[in-house]
Amino acid sequence: MILLAGIVWSLVGVALVLTASGWFYAIRPIPVIAIGSGIVAGAAIHRFGFSRLAAINLSRIRRQSPGKEKVCLFAFQNWKSYIMIAIMMIVGYALRHAPVPRIYLIPIYMGIGLALIFSSLLYYQAIR
Q: 23-68 pLDDT, tens per residue? A: 988 888 888 999 999 999 999 999 999 999 999 888 888 887 666 6
Half-sphere exposure of 95 (CA within 13 A, CB side): 17
| Burial class of residue 60, CB neighbours in 10 A (0-12, 13-18, 19+) | middle
Domain ranges of the chain: 2-125
| Cβ-based neighbour number of residue 14 at 10 Å | 15
- Could you give the C-alpha distances from 67 to 58, 62, 71, in angstroms and in order? 17, 11, 10
User: What is the per-residue pLDDT across 63-112, written as a single tens digit (0 to 9) for each?
Assistant: 876 666 666 666 667 778 888 889 999 999 999 999 999 999 999 999 99
> DSSP secondary-structure letter at 27?
S
- Collapsing DSSP to helix, strand or coil, 96 comes out as helix
pLDDT for the residue 67: 61
Residue 116 has pLDDT above 70, yes or no: yes
- DSSP 8-state assignment for residue 28: S
Angle formed by the axes of helices 102-125 and 51-64, nearest 10° = 40
pLDDT number for residue 30: 83
Confidence (pLDDT) at 128: 75
What's the pLDDT score for residue 69?
Answer: 63
